[in-house]
Amino acid sequence: MEIKYTIQGLLIYATIAAYLCAFVITLLRRAKTGHILYLFGFAIAVFSFGYRWYHVRHVPLQNLFEVFLCLGMICYPVLLFCRRILRVGGYSTDMLIGAIVLFPAGFVFNGEPQQLPPALQSWLFTPHVAVYMLSYIFMAKATFQAISQLAGKGPDANENLLGPEQATYRIICVGFPLLTLGLVLGSYWGKKAWGDYWGWDPKELWGLASWLVYVGYFHFRYMFGKKHPRINSFWAIAGMVVIIVTLLWVNLSRLFPGLHSYAT
């Protein structure tokens, strides 16, 4: 655990504080004030990301610090999309997701700027990582919905929102194409950079495993989903667990030596 006494660090802490305040205030049934605070947190997150970009002079998606900074920024528009377009509830937990994903950037990962190694100097760098980050936020939201289903919680009947099982499916349907595109772009980039579109690297394999969990989810839901709706939710939660391993464990643990190690 490390506290960052830098402008970047302060911006992260301010965003976390705004998101947490928004969460508490929304729980206290002051939805409008909560939303304003959430929006304010998002504005700081955008500024924080822009500040980092200016500081490192390349799109800041190179290491885990920058990736989590990005996640803390994109969660607001993604989760607003889930609410307004997909008609999914759980608005207060959205704010919590923002604070949770910014926590590692604020307290765990080293924010020392790094220069891009030759392999990362490619037009594929930004779309590959950005698409993955977007899909991860969608899948995180889907996981919260799956947990709500297992906990027996749902939106009020008068809210005109989807039930949690249906909501989980709908969000995964939005996130899965992004996950697929991330995998395909990564593979295409691997071919350009290392000469092989599939290197059996641990990061690639965990990426494939997370994609396969969702492929399994679709097939399971299609076959047995009506009979065992709770098991659908377990699939969705398993997907998130594998995504977390893909994102963190491979980089943090020394268990899996591989080509993606510069992402630490």
Partner 1 sequence: MWIGLALIILLLFVSVYGAFIGAARAQSFIKRLPLMVYWSAFLMMLIAALAVFRRLVRVPGLLLMHLGCVFILAGSMWASESGHKFQKKLFGIDKITTGQMIIHEGHSDNCVILKDNKQIKELMELKELPFSVELKDFQIEYYKPAYLYVQTRDGQGWKIPVETGAEFPLGPELGTVKILRTFENFKITIKEGSRTIIDDPQPGFNPALEVQITSPDGQVTTKYVFERFGGHSHTEDKFLLSYRRVISDYISRLRIIEDERIAAEKDIEVNHPLSFGGYHFYQHSYDAEAGQYTVLMVVSNTGLAVVYAGYWMLCIGVFWHMWLRHIVAIKIKTYNKTVTLSAAKSLLSCSKQ
Residues in contact with partner 1 by CB under 8 A are 115-119, 121-122, 173-174, 176-177, 180-181, 184, 187-189, 191-202, 205-206, 208-209, 212-213, 215-216, 219-220, 222-223, 250, 255-259
Closer residue to ligand HEM in complex, CB, 54/222: 222
CA distance linking residue 168 with residue 161, whole number of Å? 12
Sequence-separated (6 or more) residues with CB below 8 Å from residue 245 = 206
Is position 218 an interface residue for ligand HEM (rule: CB under 6 A)? yes
| Residue in this structure with the two tokens 């965990």, named with its chain if needed | 206
Is position 219 an interface residue for ligand HEM (rule: CB under 6 A)? yes
Among ligand HEM, partner 1, none, the one that 118 touches (CB under a kind-dependent 5 to 8 A) is partner 1
Closer residue to partner 1 in complex, CB, 107/256: 256
Residues 221-260 that bind ligand HEM (CB under 6 A): 221-222
Among partner 1, ligand HEM, none, the one that 198 touches (CB under a kind-dependent 5 to 8 A) is partner 1
Could you tell me the end-to-end alpha-carbon distance of the chain, in angstroms, rounded to an integer?
16
Closest separation in Å from C-beta 89 to ligand HEM: 22
| Residue in this structure with the two tokens 């969460």, named with its chain if needed | 23
For 57: left if phi > 0, alpha if psi spans -120 to 50, otherwise beta; the answer is: left
Hey, which bits of 90-212 come out as E strands? none
Closer residue to partner 1 in complex, CB, 157/255: 255
Q: What does the longest C-alpha to C-alpha distance in the chain come to?
A: 56
